[in-house]
Structure 1
Amino acid sequence: MTSDRATSANRRNAQASTGPRTASGKQRASQNARSHGLSARHDVANDAEVVRLAEAIIGEHRSDPEIAGAALALAEAQVMLTRVLSLKARLIREEVEVAPISSCPDGQLATPPSATLLKRLEHLDRYERRAFSRRKSAGRRFLNLASNRGGSLCRESEDRLP
């Protein structure tokens, strides 16, 4: 149980951390998630890349709406993962173009990556972990549904799921 002293300290700290107070600060904070677009809601039905991948995943189970939904979830997770990894690769590429990273003969980096790059890559880890997790869950759900409904599934693709 939390002591009265800790509760009052928590309340005092909460008063100090109320977020932005000025109109410009609120406006800037409202745009935080737009820097990369990974947290934005996507209209899956209108995302051609997701639909194309889902069609490829569904295969012979096209007539089963539950399997089609699982395939769509799997495709969405895969596309999101691809977007995160592409963004990370682009950030690294841009860093190298600005200040080429060279290595010493002993394999150590002579020019370490910038703190800004490392911070941005660390920030993207959350999206990458979420995408990997969703892909893993969606893949298992799809494989479970498809194998329970019969039909052929490639054992090789089942083995690739982490």
Structure 2
Amino acid sequence: MTRLIALALVALMLSGCKEELAERPSPVTMTAEAVGHYCQMDLLEHPGPKAQVHLSGLPDPLFFSQVRDAIAYQRMPEQSHAIAAIYVSDMGAAPSWEAPGADNWIAAETAVYVVGATVAGGMGAPELIPFADRTAAEDFVARNGGEILSLLSVPDETVLAPVEFRLDDEGNFIPPEGAAID
């Protein structure tokens, strides 16, 4: 009898895990209608990797113009809903920095990130640049500097610290020191 109860409990636990996995939403294609959650600007107008955050109970994801912003959103306690999934652009599969792709999404927790590269994200701030393949990330670091970290290794201050934006005498954006908008 005890063995039967133990088997029933194991089966129940496994079905719970299976149910959790089944509830993870799939990434959606980034279209011309996708706008950044914070800036409300068309994502296709900005270079660099993007992110989408799926919230439990909501049908559509929140899109972010920069991966850095999505991870900051994840780490702040103010969300109204639980986060069901975060997907980021796989820049190893992106056609270019200017065209990061509409369907090359990878789960944020499985990506490796280049942090501290000399390129700025879509909104001109320092960026976390995601890759599905570590070798592609290493090639990016060789060209643009930075270091490779897992999502859990990215310090909070890397995504939560304010970024100082500057304009030149003619009102043109000046990227943060050491960064270039590619």
Larger proportion of strand: 2
Q: TM-score, normalised by structure 2?
A: 0.26
Q: TM-score, normalised by structure 1?
A: 0.29
Larger proportion of helix: 1
Q: Relative contact order: is structure 1 or structure 2 higher (C-alpha 8 Å, sep ≥ 6)?
A: 1
